[in-house]
Amino acid sequence: CIFIILRFVKRKSDNYFVAYYILIVNILFGFSMEPIMRQFLATSIVVLAFHYIEKKKFIKYFLLIILAAQFHNSAYVCIFFYFFDKFTIKRRKVIYLMLFSYLIVLIIPSLSEKLMSISILSKYMYYINHPLYGFRKISFSRSILKLLISLVYLYINFYSYQFSKKKEKYLQNLSIIYSLFFILDGLPILQRLLPYFSVGFAISVSSIGELKTFSKKEIKLNHRNIGYINIIMLFIFNIFIFYKTYFVRELSIYRYYNYKNYFIEGIKGNLYSDFESKSYQYKIDILRLQEKEEISKK
């Protein structure tokens, strides 16, 4: 699966070393920490389907997405990716989308209570109100940091990848949407969709060496010494994010180090012995830690 994704990224990137780094740190490393094998398979099939966006063969693209959705239902959203090659998301539209996204996050708590009363939507509201994946409040400093990082990503999109000879409109649109989702840290359930957008994001960010100013004057970032500085800064930032994600919260530490997966347990030979008891105990412990966190917040 990983070779399918990396081969596509290498072919489409201006600098596939940068693209590999971005992809591994942002997505693939997360898959290894929390082995979501089904979604990993689905993501690989979606990447295979991208070929048919460029060939403008909707039926073949559609069939591959349906196949991907058999591994993970979230892949159904990728059906709409086919049409991303037919329109351009302009800078002004992105600003409106950012404001709209923040507005949605602000009204979700009150809106979710009303939507819970609608039976057809109640099962989806479970994800909004879920203690782990649902809506959560974030600090002002964290939201500002996320916003600034997202603006950097968008700047690279519009003032670097925009002028790339390898630019694909649908990949650029995927990257823009990824950057917008990145802001919505208060809705972790959206992070489950990020793998499908991540390939376009990694490819667009890899063009950072050809960055331009607002007046379209080239910024020389492809100098070796500047490249070393960029890599070191990226490394420090991602180590910080990794530490905050996996080692700060007691719930996260337990969740990632004790995760039980059918595939992994099958390899160990435990699938038919004690997997059920292990997974049951894991769920009980997770609920206990969630309750502990909720109590500590009050």
* DSSP annotation string for 222-235: -SHHHHHHHHHHHH
Residue 116 has what pLDDT?
57
Q: Is 212 helix (H, G, I), strand (E, B) or coil?
A: strand
- State the alpha helices, DSSP H only, in 130-221: 140-159, 169-183, 188-191, 194-205
On the question of pLDDT at 101 being above 80, the answer is no
What are the tens digits of pLDDT across the range 45-79? 999 999 999 999 999 999 999 999 988 888 999 99
Paired tokens of 25: 């740190």
d(CA 212, CA 221): 10
Which position has the higher pLDDT, 230 or 247?
Answer: 247
pLDDT range class, residue 292, cuts 50, 70, 90: confident
Nearest 5 degrees, angle CA 141-CA 136-CA 69?
A: 120
> Which amino acid type is present at position 127?
Y
d(CA 69, CA 4): 17
Instruction: Output the CA torsion sign for 62, 66, 67, 71.
Output: positive
For the chain, give the percent of residues with pLDDT over 90: 18
Among 3-7, 37-41, 242-246, the minimum mean pLDDT is found in: 242-246
Type and span of the H or E element at 246: helix 224-246
Whole-model pTM above 0.85? no
d(CA 179, CA 22): 13
Section 137-163 average pLDDT: 80
* Axis-axis angle for helices 37-54, 2-12 (nearest 10): 40
Residue 56 gets the label, from left (phi > 0), alpha (psi -120 to 50) or beta, of left
> Are the beta carbons of 186 and 105 closer than 8 angstroms?
yes
Residue 58 has what pLDDT?
94
d(CA 280, CA 270): 14
DSSP letter, residue 166: T
Buried-state track 10-39, b at ≥16 Cβ within 10 A, e below 16: eebbbbbebbbbbbbbbbbebbeeebbebb
